[in-house]
Structure formats: C-alpha cells, structure tokens
C-alpha cells in the first residue's frame, strides 16, 4: 500500500532523529513545501560545541529536571529550531510550509514555527506543554496527530 504524504514525511522525520545527540530523547523534524523537503533538523548542540553524547552526560538528567521544564539548561537546540535555522541559513522561506516532527513541539518551538509561517504541524507523541497547543490553535496552525 502506498504511503500518504503525511506518513511518508513522518517516516523521514523518524530517520532524521537517528542523528540526534541528545541522551534523553531523540527528535527529528522535516519542513516541507509543495510536497518537497526544504530542510531537516534533529536535536543536538550548536555547531562547534560539544554534544551530550560526546560529554557522556546531560545536565538536565543530573539535575532531575522534568520533561518540558527549564529548557535554558539544555545544551541542545530542538529539532524544529534546527530545521527553521537551516532554512534561514540557506535562504529558503518556510512561509506556508508544513512541519513534520516526531514529538509535539514545545512552546518555544511553537512560537518559532508560528513566526516562520508554518501553517500545518504533523506530530507524534505528546509533550507536557499545553501552552504550545493553545498558541498553535490561536494562530490557526493546523495540527495533525499521528499514531
């Protein structure tokens, strides 16, 4: 059976997440326009800095910080952030695009996606951040949850 576009791009996001350098959770993202991939991203430290996999430790795990809290204590950028930044770096507009991500975006990523002009987000897996969903709904971003 032929995969739907959502299934196809989500499967690619699943492959992208295998590049993640986070010790806590691997997340992959793909931004698509007109059924064409424009960028991908996974969660990991900024270019030129040590990844948690290199250090062998995670400050958030050591401090027992619950998921969805104290994002500023994480070395990594989120997958969605990296995909949006990559688009900016190569000069490709994300306006009107669809974001496929292997986990519900946090509120920081939701705000970035809204301002990046993302019109649809397809995601798997819940994240403890109701404000994210509230803001995406208020901005009329179409949300599709996949199993």
Catalytic positions: 80
Within 10 A of 123 (CB to CB), how many other CB atoms are there?
A: 22
**Per-residue exposure over 27-54, b if at least 16 CB sit within 10 Å of its own CB, e if not:** bbbbbbbeeeebbbbbbbbeeeeebbee
Burial of residue 99 (number of CB atoms within 10 Å: 0-12, 13-18, 19+):
buried
């Amino acid at each position: 059976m032929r995969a739907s576009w959502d299934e196809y791009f989500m499967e690619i996001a699943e492959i992208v997440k295998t590049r993640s350098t986070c010790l806590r959770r691997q997340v992959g993202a793909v931004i698509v326009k007109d059924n064409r991939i424009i960028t991908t991203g996974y969660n990991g430290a900024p270019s030129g800095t040590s990844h948690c996999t290199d250090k062998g430790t995670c400050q958030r795990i050591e401090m027992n910080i619950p998921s969805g809290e104290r994002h500023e204590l994480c070395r990594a950028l989120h997958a969605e952030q990296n995909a949006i930044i990559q688009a900016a770096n190569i000069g490709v507009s994300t306006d009107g695009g669809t974001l496929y991500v292997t986990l519900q975006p946090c509120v920081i990523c939701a705000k970035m996606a809204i301002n990046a002009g993302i019109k649809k987000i397809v995601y798997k897996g819940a994240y403890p951040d109701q404000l994210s969903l509230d803001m995406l709904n208020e901005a009329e971003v179409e949300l599709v949850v996949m199993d």
